[in-house]
Amino acid sequence: MTPVLAAEPLVRWDWVRDHTDDITAQLWEHLGLTAAAVGIGFAISMALALAAVRWRWAYEPLAAACSVLYAIPSLALFGVLVTIPFFGLGFRTALVALVSYTLLILLRNIVAGLDGVPAAAREAADGMGYERWRRVLRVDLPLATPAIVAGLRIATVTTVGLVTVTALVGEGGFGSLINDGLSRNFPTPIVVGTVLSVALAIALDVLFVVIERLLTPWARARVPSTAGTRADDALVRARGRAAGRWSALVGGRP
Amino acid sequence: MSDSLRQMWEYLSSDAAWSGRNGLPALTWAHVRISAVAVLIAAALAIPSGVVLGHVRRGALLAVSVVNIGRAVPSFAILALLLPFSLRYGFGLGFWPTIVALVLLAVPPIFTNTYTGVRDAPPDAVEAARGMGMRAGELVRKVELPVAVPLIVTGLRVSAVQVVATATLGALVGYRNLGTPIVSGFTSPNKGPMLAGALVVALMAVATDGLFALAERALVPWRRPVRRADDATVVAEEAAPAAVR
């Protein structure tokens, strides 16, 4: 690598103009990898979380296993996976790494959300004759939505960032731009890739906030005039508790 | 896979693996050194500022933003962005861009956890301390900081694990460490050094996580099974966020 010439600007706009097709293609690759990783990670974590809530003793070992996965550096995981023919350099290796990093975040948040469901709501549902799984589906999970969405937001933003690293195994969306700039010592693609990756993370984060509002209409109805009714109070309290746990998680394990 | 395992075995039984600046001991030491320095610098920056802001109970937005921004900006991107600047201003390849990226990565979890821990010191304990006539400095040293220790250690743990993991990326900007054999292994037919490097760095990350988990237990004895329900420290522990569980 040779030092950058002092005259080289951080962004060459003519390069950006000439490469809009390439940049758009990387956007779709970035989005596709993120969606696949968070989707698969969410399905696995939801199954693990439901098992952990049903069989309490399973939670600690599951969380420990997920935190070991979380601790393994992505580059180390790539290094091992590319030697296995089924994975190799490419999509599967990238996906396994990305999914494995979402598990801990999602598992913790889903379990925290389910734990935060007020006992009163649960007992009321039991009293109304809800069977166990129907209650989980109709009462527990909806009340846990804020914590679950909080987990999804963290997992998605983290994944968008990690996708850039998968450029090293030939995937990577905007990471490919960064990697290209790095290997040619050319700042423009690095800056473009970074800015777009951060913008994508923020856009998806905002998207989840909107989704959460749509999924929890009762939270929007939380205006002073409705605060008097008992049922509403219980829901507000449930949501507050879940939100409190969320902020704890944010502080704990970004 | 079996080919790669054989290559790793051959590599591990050769001299090249154990000596010289490309040997595993040298690479491991470089990895440990830069990680430790990065976490120490980050702690020196983040803990005092977190304590001050937590004590005056200001900067909640900053505490949340710093973590969110830290999460959204990929460390790979920071590393790549720093390289041109580092070259332009004469800091060169390798150590400097890597350490700056690692410090930037390590600050947010430590800062936010310190801030949250100090700010959320149980109000009754703080009031009692004030009632006993403690001044600000004493209050911080004797009440707020001890109560925040579990969260601070958690922050250090998160940062340390991420730093060990991300230091491997330093190989891309020319900092020779355990990432180096991994990066060159992607294109090399000999997968031995890559597999060995990957396993060592994975073990190192998991060991870092485990060591800090042990430190958390050692530093916070009241986390262990509680006997007396009316123990004041138990209340403090419940007031602290349930991050580690």
pLDDT score recorded for residue A68: 87
Best probe of the A interface among B10, B32, B76, B164, by most A CBs < 10 A, is B76
State the Cα–Cα distance between residues B93 and A211, nearest whole angstrom. Answer: 44
Nearest by CB: B72 against A74, A165, A202: A202
State the Cα–Cα distance between residues A253 and B61, nearest whole angstrom. Answer: 18
Nearest by CB: B209 against A71, A80, A181: A71
Count the domains in chain B: 1
CB pairs under 8 A between A and B: 184
Domain membership of residue A5 (yes or no) is no
Residues composing chain A: 254
pLDDT score recorded for residue B240: 32
Query: Over 60: is that where the pLDDT of A70 sits?
Result: yes
pLDDT in tens, A149-168: 999 999 999 999 999 988 88
A29 — pLDDT class (breaks 50, 70, 90): very high
CATH number of the domain encompassing residue A209: 1.10.3720.10
B208 — pLDDT class (breaks 50, 70, 90): very high
Min CA distance, B94 vs chain A (Å)?
12
Q: Which residues of A touch B243 (CB under 8 A)?
A: 248-249, 251-253
Domain membership of residue B196 (yes or no) is yes
- A104: enclosing H helix or E strand: helix A91-115
Q: Which residues of A touch B202 (CB under 8 A)?
A: 72-73, 76-77, 80
Domain extent for A184: 14-252
**B225, exposed or middle or buried, with CB in 10 Å at 0-12, 13-18, 19+?**
exposed
pLDDT score recorded for residue A225: 42
B236 — pLDDT class (breaks 50, 70, 90): very low
pLDDT score recorded for residue B241: 33
Query: Over 90: is that where the pLDDT of A50 sits?
Result: yes
State the Cα–Cα distance between residues A252 and B159, nearest whole angstrom. Answer: 11
Query: Over 70: is that where the pLDDT of A54 sits?
Result: yes
pLDDT in tens, A105-119: 999 999 999 998 998
Could you tell me the sign of the dihedral formed by the alpha carbons of B118, B120, B125, B129, in that order?
Answer: positive
Contact present, A161 and B74 (Cβ < 8 Å) = yes
Domain membership of residue A4 (yes or no) is no
State the Cα–Cα distance between residues B52 and B21, nearest whole angstrom. Answer: 43
Q: What is each CA distance from A117 to A103, A140, B218, in whole angstroms?
A: 21, 6, 32
ipTM: 0.75
CATH number of the domain encompassing residue B187: 1.10.3720.10
Domain membership of residue B245 (yes or no) is no
Q: Which residues of B touch A67 (CB under 8 A)?
A: 209
Contact present, A163 and A177 (Cβ < 8 Å) = no
Domain membership of residue A8 (yes or no) is no
Backbone angles phi, psi at A9, to 5 degrees: -75, 160
**A79, exposed or middle or buried, with CB in 10 Å at 0-12, 13-18, 19+?**
buried
Quick one: average pLDDT of B209-217? 88
Q: What angle do CA A179, A181, A184 make, to 5 degrees?
A: 105
Count the domains in chain A: 1
Domain membership of residue A3 (yes or no) is no
Distance of CA B25 to the CA centre of its chain: 22
Distance of CA A238 to the CA centre of its chain: 23
Nearest by CB: B1 against A85, A169, A249: A85
Domain membership of residue B152 (yes or no) is yes
Mean of the per-residue pLDDT values of chain A: 82
Domain membership of residue B164 (yes or no) is yes
Residue type, B48: P
pLDDT score recorded for residue B242: 30
Query: Over 80: is that where the pLDDT of B20 sits?
Result: no
- Within 8 A by CB and 6+ apart from A243, the residues are A146, A147, A150
Domain membership of residue B179 (yes or no) is yes
Domain extent for B26: 2-239
A224 — pLDDT class (breaks 50, 70, 90): very low
Query: Over 90: is that where the pLDDT of B65 sits?
Result: no
3-class secondary structure for chain B?
CHHHHHHHHHHHCCHHHCCCCCCHHHHHHHHHHHHHHHHHHHHHHHHHHHHHHHHHCCCHHHHHHHHHHHHHCCHHHHHHHHHHHHHHCCCCCCHHHHHHHHHHHHHHHHHHHHHHHHHCCCHHHHHHHHHCCCCHHHHHHHHHHHHHHHHHHHHHHHHHHHHHHHHHHHHHHCCCCCHHHHHHHCCCCCCHHHHHHHHHHHHHHHHHHHHHHHHHHHHCHHHCCCCCCCCHHHHHHHHCCCCCC
Domain membership of residue B217 (yes or no) is yes
pLDDT score recorded for residue A254: 28
B88–A4 C-beta distance less than 8 A: yes
Q: Which residues of A touch B83 (CB under 8 A)?
A: 182, 185, 190
Domain membership of residue A198 (yes or no) is yes
pLDDT score recorded for residue B1: 59
State the Cα–Cα distance between residues A250 and A244, nearest whole angstrom. Answer: 10
Mean of the per-residue pLDDT values of chain B: 82
- Within 8 A by CB and 6+ apart from B45, the residues are B103, B107, B111
Query: Over 80: is that where the pLDDT of B223 sits?
Result: no
Which pTM does this prediction carry? 0.79
pLDDT score recorded for residue B222: 61
Could you tell me the sign of the dihedral formed by the alpha carbons of B200, B206, B210, B211, in that order?
Answer: positive
Q: What is each CA distance from B55 to A79, B89, B123, B151, B230, in whole angstroms?
A: 45, 38, 12, 15, 26
| CA distance between the termini of chain A | 34
Domain membership of residue B244 (yes or no) is no
Best probe of the B interface among A1, A83, A166, A168, by most B CBs < 10 A, is A83
pLDDT score recorded for residue A231: 45
